Amino acid sequence: MGTEIERKFLVKGEFRPYVVKAMRITQAYISSVAERTVRIRICDQKAYLTVKGKSNKAGMSRLEWEKEIDIEDAKDLLRICEEGVIDKTRYVVPESCGLKFEVDEFYGENEGLLVAEIELPSEDFPFDKPIWLGDEVTGDFRYFNSNLKNNPYKYW
């Protein structure tokens, strides 16, 4: 099992000219408790089962296990998930040191929310922040997808 190290930011400017890839994502949760989340994700024509452990105090690191699964199995599993589905488009934007930002544009009850994430090899890894990045929200658990399904952005 690996460790996901990720920082999150709001998006304040125009990032679309830098996008190299876009994909539509639908995801739901079998479990969304703080100690562990179990997620089903359909991303274009692929599907994944992901288990994530509890985040550290800073909200930056947590254990993560992910496996690709059959898309028909994923569609079946969506029927037994908790209420609330996350619907978004993910845009991939390269970062200068070889990493990438993933910008999520949310729909439905989270319409209007744009969050950029970057996965890092270590918590203190330096990276360039593009001009379109806004405030950092890494430690703000409201921005976790598992929380957005229960407390959508439009109600804040």
- Cα separation values, 104 from 33, 79, 86, 92, 144, Å: 22, 24, 11, 9, 12
The DSSP bridge partners found for residue 103 are: 91, 116
Task: Tell me how far apart the 2 most distant CA atoms of the chain are, in Å.
Answer: 41
User: How many CB atoms are located within 10 Å of the residue 54 CB?
Assistant: 11
Instruction: For residue 70, give the amino acid letter.
Output: D
Q: Which are the contacts of 119, defined by CB distance < 8 A and separation ≥ 6?
A: 4, 5, 6, 99
Q: Which class for 67: exposed (0-12), middle (13-18), buried (19 or more C-beta within 10 A)?
A: exposed
Q: Residue 6 is encoded by which pair of tokens?
A: 């990720």
Cite the active site residues: 29
